[in-house]
Amino acid sequence: MYARSSTIHAQPLSLDEGISFMREQTMPALMEIPGCIGLSLLVDREFGHCIATSSWESEEAMRASADAASSLRMMATGRFAGTIDKIEEWEIAVLHREHLATGGSCVRCTWLRCQMGGMEQLIDTFVHTVLPEVEGMDGFCSASMFVDRMSGRAVSATAWDTHDAMESNRERVHQLRTSTAARLGTTVMDVQEFELSIAHLRVPELV
């Protein structure tokens, strides 16, 4: 399974219009493209930072969709009154759902860079060390890890039932992140928190 993520800087006053457009127009159009299986949208309302991610059955399907997806992306960006910051393509290495997301779910994303040759160890540690820890935290919903093996980059995401649940576990997750990164020699590039505005990635369990 593969994913393409588009980072959009939106005007805060246009967020609701952009979210509605993506839900009602972009997602149905994407689902008509061969190989597309879903879409998610993360939104930071304070800064207008949005990440739209489409999921694909194969790398070939994702690459073949580039032109059609670009057109849809430009239309959605217009509704956000925003600009496209970057477009990234990923292999979906891990996805685990404790249960489906709810209307108030939130997501914490962590961007990482691993040492040369360390990607498999990073994935293994996420599955066997990080997942068991966060699964035991109140309000845990799901977790995923997307990777770019060529560059050594990865992004992990944990979804929580509510913002309060995400906030209440922030320090425990920070300690887990810090200790795990130090042990592996992995660099934490960034950490951001979002509301989960569209939750239809539809990727099967990958652990």
> Residue 31: its pLDDT value, please?
96
> Residue 76: its pLDDT value, please?
97
CA angle 149, 155, 158 (to 5 degrees): 140
What is the fold of 2-200?
Alpha-Beta Plaits (3.30.70)
CA atoms within 13 A of residue 69's CA, in its CB half-sphere:
25
**Residue 114 neighbours by CB distance under 10 Å:** 23
Longest dimension (CA), the chain: 45
CA atoms within 13 A of residue 25's CA, in its CB half-sphere:
15
CA angle 54, 96, 22 (to 5 degrees): 25
CA atoms within 13 A of residue 52's CA, in its CB half-sphere:
28
> Residue 207: its pLDDT value, please?
85
Domain ranges in the chain are 2-200
Query: How many contiguous H segments (helices) and E segments (strands) does the chain have?
Result: 8, 8
> Residue 191: its pLDDT value, please?
98
Low-confidence ranges of the chain (pLDDT < 50): none
Q: By the 8 A CB rule, do 169 and 58 touch?
A: no
> Residue 92: its pLDDT value, please?
98
**Residue 189 neighbours by CB distance under 10 Å:** 12
Quick: pLDDT tens for 39-49: 999 999 999 99
CA angle 85, 154, 22 (to 5 degrees): 45
Q: Whole-model pTM?
A: 0.96
